[in-house]
């Protein structure tokens, strides 16, 4: 199966933040069932060899994940609020139609 993406291994590309070498910290495969059978995904986690740079990257990633979680929570609250408003509006229509009848 042909490799999709960059022809150069990503561990050979220097770190974009500090320019030092990167190394493979973890590799795993994942099988996903779909309509055509099974799709095999190969994942590789690559980290910077500069400990300070990697620590800074992990801090930024943690902040982004916290921000995403907060936005997801706000989205769920808004969905619940819209559903409650819809129920109230439907109840008001029903009661208005009963009064006019």
Query: What's the pLDDT score for residue 94?
Result: 79
Q: Do 13 and 56 sit in the same domain of this protein?
A: no
Residues 38, 1 share a domain: yes
Q: Is residue 11 domain-shared with residue 43, that is, in the same domain?
A: yes
* Parent domain of 29: 1-49
Same-domain pairing of 56 and 97: yes
Give the chain's domain count.
2
Tokens of 70: 């907060």
* Boundary residue ending a domain (30, 49, 68): 49
What is the pLDDT at residue 3? 63
Residue 61 has pLDDT above 60, yes or no: yes
76: its two tokens:
């769920």
The backbone torsions φ and ψ at residue 75, rounded to the nearest 5 degrees and listed phi first, read: -60, -45
Q: Could you tell me if 60 and 72 lie in one domain?
A: yes
What span, in angstroms and rounded, lies between the C-alpha atoms of 31 and 23?
A: 24
Per-residue pLDDT, averaged over 52-68, amounts to: 96
Q: Can you tell me which residue has the tokens 């990697």?
A: 54
- Whole-structure pTM value: 0.63
pLDDT of 91 > 70? The answer is yes
Higher-pLDDT residue of 9 and 58 is 58
For residues 70-91, average pLDDT: 93
Using CA atoms, how far residue 69 sits from 1, 32, 66, in Å, is 36, 25, 5
pLDDT of residue 2: 58
């Amino acid at each position: 199966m042909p490799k999709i993406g960059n022809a150069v291994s990503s561990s050979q590309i220097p770190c974009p933040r500090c320019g030092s070498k990167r190394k493979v910290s973890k590799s795993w495969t994942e099988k996903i069932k779909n309509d055509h059978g099974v799709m095999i995904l190969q994942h590789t986690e690559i980290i910077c060899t500069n400990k300070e740079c990697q620590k800074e990257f992990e801090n930024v990633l943690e902040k982004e994940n916290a921000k995403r979680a907060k936005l997801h929570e706000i989205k769920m609250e808004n969905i619940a609020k819209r559903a409650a408003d819809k129920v109230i509006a439907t109840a008001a229509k029903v009661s208005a139609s009963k009064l006019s009848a």
